[in-house]
Amino acid sequence: MSAVHIADIDGDGVLDLVLSNSLTGDVQWYRQNKPDSFSSPTTVLAGLPGVVLVKVADISADGIVDILSIANSRFRLLVSS
């Protein structure tokens, strides 16, 4: 199962895609370059099989979004800098 989330990951004012894949355990970010055109994926989290939930929010309250992933009662937090 995969999930798609939409958020402006790099703060350029253009929405990007974050995809999670529960089989591979990877969470990947696709930067939107222009309308309907996305970059090659960047793996931001790997090795978390069963990932079922990804939240994109400014958890550290620094104005930059962070990515939280949860799988099998384990979580990983990628804090942007």
Q: Which residues bind Ca ion (CB under 5 A)?
A: 8, 10, 12, 14, 16
Q: Considering the complex, what minimum distance in angstroms separates the CB of residue 11 from Ca ion?
A: 7
Return the DSSP state at 50: T
Taking the least distance from each CB to Ca ion, the nearer of 32 and 69 is 32
d(CA 1, CA 8): 23
Q: Considering the complex, what minimum distance in angstroms separates the CB of residue 8 from Ca ion?
A: 4
User: Rounded to 5 degrees, what angle do the CA atoms 68, 50, 17 make?
Assistant: 45
Are residues 5 and 21 in contact, defined by beta-carbon separation less than 8 angstroms?
no
How far from chain centre, in Å, is Cα 48? 13
Taking the least distance from each CB to Ca ion, the nearer of 12 and 62 is 12
Taking the least distance from each CB to Ca ion, the nearer of 31 and 55 is 31
Q: Considering the complex, what minimum distance in angstroms separates the CB of residue 62 from Ca ion?
A: 17
